[in-house]
Structure 1
């Protein structure tokens, strides 16, 4: 994952007078590892190890972002209420205080942008059909503005910040990514991104304190949540 050594300067990924471009490396071989990595996928969260996405997953025609959100639609009616968010957070292993606070904050932030009309919902409902309207800034941009999954952006999370291991993030590396992704004055985005990633880290890090690439990919399409729920039930 080193910067390009091609004699063609238009193919370089690091600029000598911009040290940050050499510090945060891009994977120059991604084109050989995954077909059309620049093409955002609507239905599948793909990477070189999963070129068709999560095996056996029924997408039900939903975008990857919708698949992520639909885990919290506990009755499958296309609308997520705060009590369903609470149930979903409990299902993946969050404690009562975190689940309660998360349910209130998540639905408070996402309810109005996803409403089908101009009127706010007194029950703070989130409509999965419009979940792309709730996309915030200061994130990895792995979801595009329509809720598709961008493989090149996902790969950059690890090529830029996975220093200890190429396919995992430590807590410090995760914090570095969050700081680097901040858009100027986007305070809501800063807080939301930090909350999402730290929650993911708390429930899905491995025994060595690493957030593995496959774990993160599963969070993007929601398959991780289903695995965590199954694990909790079995234990």
Structure 2
């Protein structure tokens, strides 16, 4: 099923669509790997990102369990979890105030980029009880 037009998409769907290079509304694990490489991840980190993202979020974005671990761009807001950055609202809209607050809180001056350590610190700082995805990040980061 083709995805919504750019005008109809929420900010979260537009963000996710970066990885949907063929525009069919479905993100394959290889799409995520290629997208992560395009933004500068090394081979190991791009592979881990694709595995973690797709194994953790596929079940939430697809109508039925998907043995191929694909993601649906149109349902990406269903994959949001309690310990994320809160940059996107529950409806998938971008909240610039939340983004700026989170970025300033968890990055070092001059607040121009976020390191892996900053990301781990942010995830730990935003962690909610019973959010097992963030709990796994916490365990493996230490």
Identify whether the pair has TM-score above 0.5, normalized to the shorter chain: yes
User: Counterparts of 2:51 and 2:114 in 1: how far apart (Å)?
Assistant: 28
Alignment match of 1:165 (pick from 96, 104, 109): 109
Could you report, residue by residue, the CA deviation over 1:1-25 in whole angstroms, capped at 9, with x for unpaired residues?
xxxxxxxxxxxxxxxxxxxxxxxxx
| Residue from 26, 35, 41 that aligns with 1:79 | 26
Mapped to 2, the partners of 1:83 and 1:169 lie a distance apart of 26
Is residue 74 of structure 2 the alignment partner of residue 124 of structure 1?
no
- Residue 98 of structure 1 deviates from its aligned partner by 2.2
Matches within 5 A, 1:131-146: 131-146=76-91
Q: Whole-Å Cα distance in 2 between the matches of residues 158 and 107 of structure 1?
A: 25
Q: Residue deviations 1:102-150, cap 9 Å, x none?
A: 22221111111111x3x21121111100000001121221111111111
- The alignment's TM-score, normalised by the length of structure 2, stands at 0.77
From 57, 79, 97, the equivalent of 2:44 is 97
C-alpha distance in 2, partners of 1:189/1:170? 18
Distance in structure 2 (CA, Å) of the matches to 1:173 and 1:92: 17
Q: Distance in 1 between matches of 2:40 and 2:83?
A: 26
Shift of 1:61: 2.9
Unaligned runs of 5+ in 2: none
Q: CA deviation at 1:85?
A: 1.4
Question: Secondary structure in 1 aligned to 2:129?
Answer: coil
Structure 1 vs Structure 2 CA RMSD? 3.0
2:123–2:134 Cα contact (<8 Å) kept: no
SS of 1:111 mapped into structure 2:
helix
Secondary structure at the aligned position of 2:40 is classed as coil
